[in-house]
Amino acid sequence: MANHGAAEAASIRNEAREVLSLYSDGEHEAALARAVVLAAVHPGSAVALNLAGLIHRHAALVARNDRGAHGDDEDGDENASALEKYHRHAALDAFSAAARLAPNCVVTNADHAVALVHCRRFEDAQKEFLRMLDTVANNDQADPALYSVVYDMSGDSSMKGRKRDAVKSASIAMERFAEKINHRILPLEAAKLLDASNLGGPAADEARERAKLLAETYPYSPRAQLLRAYIDLAPVRALDPAMDKKQLLRRALTTVSQAAVNFDLSLMVALFHAKLLFVLDNFDAAERECRRALRMETPNDPNWDDIPPMAALGADSDARVSYVKKQLRVLLKQIIVVAALYWSSMKNALQGQRVVSVTVDTLHAHYDGIDKSAAKTISDATRFLKNQESWSFWICLNSRCDGKKFSDTSSLWQHTCSKHRDELWGKLQSLIDPEYWENTSQDDHSLVGITLSRQSDTFLLPRVQDMFESLLLSPSVGIQAEPFAEMRQRKCREGSEILGSIREKLRLLPKDTLSTEFQECCSGIEKLWLKFLEVTVVDYREIILPLARSYQWIELKKRIPFYLNHPGTRRIEFADANIDIICGTSGQSVKEMASTSSSQQSLTVSNKNNADKELSILSVIIQSLCNLRHFRDKLLMGPLVWIPSVENPCIAQQFYEIFSSWEKNDHHLTDVVLTCMKTLLCRVVDYSTFYEKVGKTFASEIVSTILIELHMSETCSRFRENKETKRHVVNSVTCGDCICPTHYLFGIKFDAQISCRCGKSSGEYLYTTLFHKLDVGSPQTAKIKSFAELLVLLDEQFREDNKCDHCGSLQNIDLFLSNTPHFFTIVLNWLGGSESQDALSEVLAGITSPLDTEFFCRSAHSAAMYAVTSMICYADDRYVCFARDEDKWVIYGFETVEREDSWEHLLERFKDCKLQPEVLFFEVIK
């Protein structure tokens, strides 16, 4: 009997080989017929069944291609033909039977799983793949040649090699299955389940159970885990706002926290996780998760696992990554805002005392567990302060001294002269003023914010506001302390460079001590020496203060939840401090955003709660830019090209945060980010206060500054990556072939051809500008009778900047427009008399009429038309913003948002005001 069985098996195998060879020769129908018969006659042969399944699967693929289907796999979609469906199910029947006969054959397991996928039995396919993995893990894999004629004919005589190839092929099949589930199947499932969960009742219960099953079935899918958590939270959104939702939130947190561990390159999981922690008042953990996500250098494409599907906006992976990271930065700032508000409302003195002071031992113990070098620095600083009664010292730059400390420059000078015998010091002593080297000590009041109480060995940090200001300016950077060793190395390096410069000056020192050149050289040496003293002094507060601030920030975040849960504490209400922060707006499209009125109405509520008039002024100016939908979309969706830091906060990120806070009606965050924007702009325009500058040119200067700063930040970042493009930049206002997004939206390019009647100068160049500045008080302005005549002024003002170097007369400038930007901006300076103001006010009556491209220059020939879409005007000592809303107009004031049916009605409303337009934004009419 055994011999008979072996002979039959050999006969089956031989015929299977013939059938496979016949199929390889292109005789598909004949091979299929013989394979079907062979499997029917020998239902107990895995070889025959696997062969039949393989040829049926190929036949299904041929049928799919014949009907013109596209795709990278063979979906069992509803458009499949009857023939295609027949072959798919026939293949599944054959592979299922073979899998029962050969349960330990990895090839059979994988083919069976793939056949289940093609018939849309995804959960069963998942089980088969998992069974296959168990077989491999238990080292229980059978030789695939025993059950598959393909491996029998592979030519590999090594059973080990055949097993290795089988596992590799099966792994590829499983990876494709996982991608299909996560990227194609689950988005469809998610859309259906999210709709069902919103219905409530039995449908929502079924959706919740289905989401749970999907998460358990596909544990490798981050999207499946997010879907489960998202649907678990659906009932929370329907609960009364006063109800305690934390138990339900914590249940979802368990799922998401594990997903954050398992999928550590998923930005969507990290964002969801951080938001959930934030809503649960776990601010410290939320901040850590945000920072972890922002540190991801190569995260997964957010479209791989976003819920709802397509919630991560952006044209490509980089844009989507930037979109999510911008949300993470906003959440970081929200954490800081919450902490600042609760700190200001704390009444318990003990709670506050724990934040404004920390014992030396506590701070040392904290860092001893996470950073030994920081703990040692704390000990060294405390010991030095007690012994020297000073925080600062100078170090010898000679490496042999191992950083020996000197409390004043006199002792440093004496040490260097005696120990290192460097003639430099002797020469210096004879040249510079003695006050620069005799007993000069560091001013201990140059750094503030931390003191040491001798009685209790406690660091005091009473100025908590400094910590908040530092965090708010650059939330993604946080509080960072430079390690002492790195600081010392840096100062030694910088000090050595300065000494090198001093040596060079000494070498070139004129011999005539009475000459002007000698005095100038000595003066230069003294300045270098003062710079040397400034650079090389080490102040322990530069290191201890950030360390203490970091600990203080952690303690504050820990204290807040205790304070919130204390009986009698009145919780501060936040627009986003509820479940909507997790799944309310992240999936909203920009198109939907533009169609809602929340961004328009948010200004009203924000200003009513805003006691700072300067922020109200700034908000009206920024609102004029928010009305430019394409600009707003770019800020909300486009990639962030500037990497924020403490020294260089990103103005694009500030815009994103302002627009987002308006969209969400988050009034607290709005005030904070407007303050940050004001601080950022004050650095550039050198204003200490906005309010005193209002009127005449203020709005014009702010808008001009904003456009220039956006251009500079985007351009500098891109030019760092591509040095070849650096030559295109001329200056911060006008440049040639600029590639930044701001120029793409606002930049107008001209081919300028120059000639002069003297005949000595001529040429051409590319001229680009982000805006046109006009002096409204000039004599030419008073002569215009319609707004379209401003093009004459544009030509004349351009010529004013291009006088001939040879004869001094105005050159002949011919401008040829080479592009049609989306926006065209005019900023107006009101520096003239009342006559010109009255004249231009009359012109306002026709300002809304469309203009063609000849408005830019007479030589422009294009079908594009432009119409004013937003403007900032000065009226009776206040700013207002006008924005076109289809055929109507919206008026944004300090505390109001109102509408008018027409431009004529708007002008009638302001007829008793001295209405001065300062910034005009024109948008192309499609």
Q: What CATH number does the domain containing 237 carry?
A: 1.25.40.10
The answer to whether residues 767 and 775 touch, using CB atoms and an 8 Å cutoff, is no
In a domain, residue 726? The reply is no
Instruction: Tell which of 716, 750, 782 closes a domain.
Output: 716
Q: What is the rounded CA–CA span in Å between residue 63 and residue 81?
A: 8
Task: Confirm if 671 and 661 have CB atoms less than 8 A apart.
Answer: no
Q: Judge residue 892's burial from the number of C-beta atoms within 10 Å of its C-beta, 0-12 exposed, 13-18 middle, 19 or more buried.
A: buried
Instruction: Say whether both 248 and 339 belong to one domain.
Output: yes
Tell me the pLDDT tens digit for each residue of 902-924: 888 888 888 777 778 888 899 98
- 649 within 8 A of 680, measured Cβ to Cβ: yes
The whole-chain average pLDDT of the chain stands at 77
- The domain boundary, picked from 501, 529, 563, lies at 563
Rounded Cα distance between 802 and 810, Å, is 7
Q: Tell me how far the alpha carbon of residue 645 is from its chain's centroid.
A: 13
Same domain, yes or no: 509 and 450? yes
d(CA 544, CA 217): 51
Coil, helix or strand at residue 616: helix
Average pLDDT over residues 266-294: 92
Same domain, 137 and 207: no
The average pLDDT across 552-562 equals 82
- Is 543 exposed, middle or buried (CB count within 10 Å of its CB: 0-12, 13-18, 19+)? buried
What pLDDT, in 10s, does the model give residues 18-37?
Answer: 888 888 888 888 889 998 89
Query: Do 431 and 553 have their domain in common?
Result: yes
Residue 292 to residue 566: CA distance in whole angstroms: 31
For residue 269, the model assigns a pLDDT of 94
Q: What beta strand segments (E) does 762-908 contain?
A: 762-769, 772-775, 812-817, 823-829, 851-852, 865-874, 879-885, 888-892, 897-900
What is the model's pLDDT at position 299? 94
Please state, as a whole number, how many other Cβ atoms lie within 10 Å of the Cβ of residue 268: 27
Predicted confidence (pLDDT) per residue in 693-742, tens digit: 555 677 888 888 888 888 776 554 443 333 333 323 333 344 445 556 77
Judged against a pLDDT cut of 70, whether residue 539 lies above it is answered with yes
Phi, psi of 539 (to 5 degrees): -115, 120
Residue 184 DSSP code: I
Q: Which one of 153, 172, 204 terminates a domain?
A: 153
For residues 849 and 783, is the Cβ–Cβ distance under 8 A?
A: no
**Position 327 pLDDT exceeds 80:** yes
Q: Is residue 631 part of a domain?
A: yes
Q: Which residue has the higher pLDDT, 132 or 603?
A: 132
Q: Is 403 left (phi over 0), alpha (psi -120 to 50) or beta?
A: left
3 state DSSP class of 519: helix
Position 581 in a domain = no
SS (H, E, C) 13-39: HHHHHHHHHHHHCCCHHHHHHHHHHHH
Domain shared by 148 and 24, yes or no: yes
Of the candidates 335, 431, 401, the one whose C-alpha atom is nearest the C-alpha of residue 672 is 335
Same domain, 471 and 370: yes
924: β partners: 866
What was the pLDDT predicted at 571? 53
Do 426 and 554 lie in a common domain? yes
Q: Examine the pLDDT at 274 and tell me if it is beyond 60.
A: yes
Please determine, for residue 42, whether its predicted confidence score (pLDDT) is greater than 50: yes
Sign of CA dihedral 364, 368, 370, 373: positive
The model's pLDDT over 660-706, given as tens digits with 9 standing for 90+, comes to 888 777 777 787 788 878 877 877 776 655 555 555 677 888 888 88
Q: Is 887 domain-assigned? A: yes
Element (H, E) at 196: helix 186-199
Share of the chain above pLDDT 90, in %: 9
* Mean pLDDT of the region 768-789: 68
Indicate the pLDDT class of residue 260, thresholds 50, 70 and 90. very high
714/254: higher pLDDT: 254
Instruction: State the pLDDT at residue 598.
Output: 32
- Per residue in 282-324, pLDDT (tens digit) is 889 999 999 999 999 899 999 888 888 888 888 888 888 988 8
Q: What is the pLDDT of residue 24?
A: 86
Q: At 763, which CATH number? A: 3.90.70.10
pLDDT of residue 264: 92
Examine the domain organization and report whether 337 and 444 are in the same domain: no
The torsion of the CA quartet 538, 543, 549, 551, rounded to 10 degrees, works out to -150
Q: Domain for residue 745, yes or no?
A: yes
Cβ-contact 888, 898 below 8 angstroms:
no
User: What does the block give as tokens for 546?
Assistant: 């950030």
Same domain, 259 and 360: no
The mean-pLDDT minimum among 57-66, 315-324, 414-423, 522-531 falls in 414-423
Q: Does 597 reside within a domain?
A: no
Q: What percent of the chain has pLDDT over 70?
A: 76
In this prediction, residues 783-803 reach a mean pLDDT of: 61
Asked whether residue 682 falls in the same domain as residue 753, the answer is no
What's the pTM? 0.70
Domain that holds residue 471: 355-563
CA distance 707 to 624: 13
Closest CA to 899 of 907, 908, 888: 888
Backbone angles phi, psi at 647, to 5 degrees: -75, -30
Domain assignment present for residue 359? The answer is yes
pLDDT band at 645 (very low <50, low <70, confident <90, very high): low
The per-residue pLDDT for range 175-226, each reduced to its tens digit, is 888 888 888 888 888 888 888 887 778 888 888 899 898 888 888 889 999 9
Residues 129, 125: Cα–Cα separation, whole Å? 6
Span of 22-36, 164-178, 795-809 with lowest mean pLDDT? 795-809
Between CA 755 and CA 746 the distance in angstroms is 28
Per-residue pLDDT tens over the stretch 510-532: 888 888 888 888 888 888 888 88
pLDDT at 293: 94
Place of tokens 């596209």: 70
Quick one: pLDDT at residue 436? 61
| In a shared domain, residues 400 and 514 | yes
Does residue 599 belong to any structural domain of this protein? no
Domain count, the chain: 5
Same domain, 461 and 379: yes
pLDDT, tens digit (0-9, with 9 covering 90-100), for 618-636: 888 889 988 888 888 877 7
List the structure tokens of 288: 């850590």
Token representation of residue 27: 């005789």
